[in-house]
Amino acid sequence: MNGADSSLKSFMGRDERTVEAIIAADEKTCLKLETTPEILAERMEYFTKVSYPCFTGAVVVDGIFEVETQVFRGKLPCPFGHTGLFRKTLTTLTNRLSGVSVQWTALNIHLLREHHFFEGKGCAYRLEPEALEKALY
Whether the per-residue pLDDT at 129 is higher than 50: the answer is yes
In this prediction, residues 111-115 reach a mean pLDDT of: 97
Residue range 55-106, pLDDT digits in tens: 778 999 999 999 999 999 999 999 999 888 999 999 999 999 999 999 999 9
| Structural domain boundaries in the chain | 6-136
pTM here?
Answer: 0.91
Residue range 9-30, pLDDT digits in tens: 779 989 999 999 999 999 999 9
In the chain, alpha helices (H): 19-32, 37-51, 106-115, 129-136
The pLDDT of residue 119: 96
Whether the per-residue pLDDT at 6 is higher than 70: the answer is no
The pLDDT of residue 130: 97
Q: How far apart are the first and last CA of the chain?
A: 34
The pLDDT of residue 10: 79
Q: How far is CA 65 from CA 38, 48, 58, 78, 128, in A?
A: 20, 12, 10, 28, 18
